Each structure stands twice: as C-alpha cells, then as structure tokens.
Amino acid sequence: MKLTDISRKPLGFVSACSAAAGAFLGLFVGTANGSGFLGVVIGAVLVGGLAFILPKLDNEKMARWLTVGLFVVLGFLFGGIPLAVLGAFAGWFFGWFIHWLYEGRYRAKLPPYTTAGQVLWHYSFRVICGAIFVFLITPILVVIPLSFNAENFFTFTPEMLRFDPEGYSLKHYQDFFTNNDWQRSFKNSLIIAPIATIISVSLGTLAAIGLSQSHVPGRRAIMAVLISPMIVPLIISATGMFFFYSQIGNFLEGTIGLNKNFVGYVKVILAHAVLGIPFVIITVTATLVGFDRSLTRAAANMGANPVTTFFRIQMPLILPGVISGGLFAFITSFDEVVVVLFVGSASQKTLPWQMFTGLREQISPTILAVATILVMISIALLTTVELLRRRSERLRGMSPG
C-alpha cells in the first residue's frame, strides 16, 4: 500500500469540510442575489457533492479543470461575465481544496504530534484573520474600479458589470490632473506634509533617544505626554490647536508683521508635526530596544564627541526606524483633514480637505480617482516600512540575513 493511500482521509470528512467552505461562499453569492439562505444550501450541496466525485477520478489536474469549467458555466448562467470570472477563481480553489483535504496535505507543515483540535484551531485562526482582512479591504477594492467609471456615478453601471470597454474611462483622473482646485490642494499637501515630516522626524528622534536613557527622570510621564496626540480624540486636539495657534498667528502677523498666507502654512505645518511626532517616537524607541550601547561607549573612549558618535555610530543602526517613523508621519499629515479645517484657511486647503469639500458641496466622482491615488501611495509607503523593518531586524541580529 502506498504512503499516499495511508494518508488519505475519508470522503465523509472531506465532503463535510468542503460543504462548509461551499456554504461560506454561497452565503456571499446568495446574499448578493437576494437570498443568502438559498446560496448557503446550493453552495454546500454543490461543493459537498464534488468532494465525493473528484477524488475518485485519480487525476487531480483534470479534476481541477473540470471544477473550473463547471463553476465558470454556472457563474455565466446566473450572473454573466462577472460571476463567470468569480467562478473561475472559485472552481480553481475548490478543486485544490478538495484534494488538499483528501490527500491529507494540510498536515504536511505541522508537527506530527499535533492533535485534531490543534489542527482545527491552526486553520480556523487563519480563516478568521483572512475574513477580517477581507472585511477591511473590501471597501478599497470597490473604490478602485469605480474610479474608472465612464459615467458620473458612484455605482457600477451595466456596462461596467458586463466588462464593456465603453463603461470604463480615465476622465476622472484627467479631471484631477487638469482641475485647478484639485491641483492647488495637491500642491499644498506636497508642501505641508514633507516639511511637517522633517520636523516630526527631527524632534521625535531626539526625544526617543533622550527617553531611552535610563537616568532621565519621569521618562514614563514624559513619554505619555509626547504620544498623547495619538491617543486623544482628534477633534479635541484640533480644538486645542485652534486656540493655541490662533494666538501664535496673531503674534506673527501683528507683532512681527509676517505675511498672513505664510503664517497659515506655518500653523498647519506645526500642527501636523505635533501629530506625527508620536509615530516617530514609537518607531525609534522600538529600534533602540535592540541597540548595543557599548558601541557608543567605545566611540567615546576612542575620542569621538557626542555629535560624531550619533551620526557615525547610532544613526546608521536606527535609520530604518527613523525612516519608518517619518513615513508614518508623512502619511498622517498627507491624509489629515480635521486639524487643517480648524487651523488652516482656504489658502492652505489640502487634498483631503478638497475631498471633504467635494463630498459635502459638490458630489464629484473625481474623489474616487483621488482616493485610488492615495491608496496606491499608502501601499507603496507601507511596503517601504515593512522592508525597512526587516532590514532593521537584520542589522540588530534579530532575524537571519
């Protein structure tokens, strides 16, 4: 008897698990078509029945193609091309999933001594995490295709659902890059966010290094105060900043005689810097946890002054954490709208403020294009943060190279 024959699971077990997965998919498809209960029943019966048939074919590749073809045909009959595409993915998944269960491959990467309950929890935990991820990411996945709508609607048109090329257009992106209001607000964001990030990184890094010293009195209290803008509700922080920076603005304009427009930018930049400092402090402090302080002592013994030690020894090692904090501070400033509404004026209207205005005063689908651009920027920045985090762990010896 072959080893694969020993590891194969009973068809009843495979069918039960497959029916549960089919019912889960059927719940979403059925709900979208007006009957969630009917979708659950059809999904469970269809996939559970396939779990009895496919393993008997003894040809996994052919079984997968048959499953894909079946789901594509069913999807096309019930929902046209969109459901046919979804059916292709579902068919491929269930063709793989049924054989994955039947061959017992789900235990391949688990220790041989794990119990059935531990195996169940291992995969249940991942399913729960995946469901939460889908729940969080679905609104973004809806916005992105809507940004290519050829009509001025916030809903999918029949042409889009049929994948008709005439239903798609780049006109909303063209409006963003040619409209003076959008471009002015975009330039303001590109002015305010980088300067606020530089201030946040400079002050936040120095604060994190200072608070990492064991001889500093009241470190916990100081840390709590510095990261409070991250904890306090934003509307409360914005209200406090309004009264505080209005006095600073009156002083700069009335006493010193600075230009009103320039003072407005100063107030918004300082306010956004306050919001970004906590992110820099947290990321740099986390980087300093694994920092070997004997390196700075050795540099001091060799005659290096504190400034040289910081830039030659300490800064290269904590640089990934500093850049990560700077990226978070940049995203915070670039996406912030509440504080700039309180502190800024029409001359400092940022991109999120323009989006807020577009939703409140004039419903413009260009907002969907701008939202898609911001999502892409955020994904790129967060990917950079993750790469820097891994590099930081390698530099500190916390992960293999």
What would the pLDDT profile of 263-289 be if each residue is shown by its tens digit?
Answer: 889 999 999 999 999 999 988 888 877
Please say whether the beta carbons of 365 and 171 come within 8 A. no
pLDDT digits (tens, 9 = 90+) for 290-324: 676 777 778 777 877 777 877 787 787 788 888 88
- Domain segments of the chain as ranges: 3-109, 147-177, 179-395
pLDDT-derived band at 45 (thresholds 50, 70, 90) equals confident
- Structure token digits, residue 252: 């700069």
Give dist(CA 222, CA 371) in Å, integer. 37
Q: Which tokens hold the place of 220? A: 């916990």
Closest CA to 98 of 215, 204, 17, 192: 17
- Phi, psi (degrees; rounded to nearest 5) at 359: -75, -35
In angstroms, the CA 272 to CA 258 distance is 21
In the DSSP assignment, the letter for residue 164 is -
Mean pLDDT of 32-49: 80
Q: What is the mean pLDDT of residues 385-398?
A: 69
Give me the amino acid identity at 57: L
396 pLDDT band, cuts 50/70/90, is low
At residue 400, does pLDDT exceed 60? no
Number of neighbouring beta carbons within 10 Å of residue 352: 20
Q: Which token pair is 86?
A: 């979804």
270-283 burial string, b = 16+ CB within 10 Å, else e? bbbbbbbbbbbbbb
Contact assessment for residue 9 and residue 101, using Cβ atoms and an 8 Å cutoff: yes
**For residue 392, what pLDDT is reported?**
65
Closest CA to 345 of 242, 272, 275: 242
On whether the CB atoms of residues 43 and 22 are closer than 8 A, the answer is yes
pLDDT value of residue 395: 64
The predicted-structure confidence for 66-75, as pLDDT tens digits, reads as follows 888 888 888 8
One-letter amino acid for residue 286 of the chain: A
pLDDT at 198 over 70: yes
Domain made up of 179-395: CATH architecture: Orthogonal Bundle (1.10)
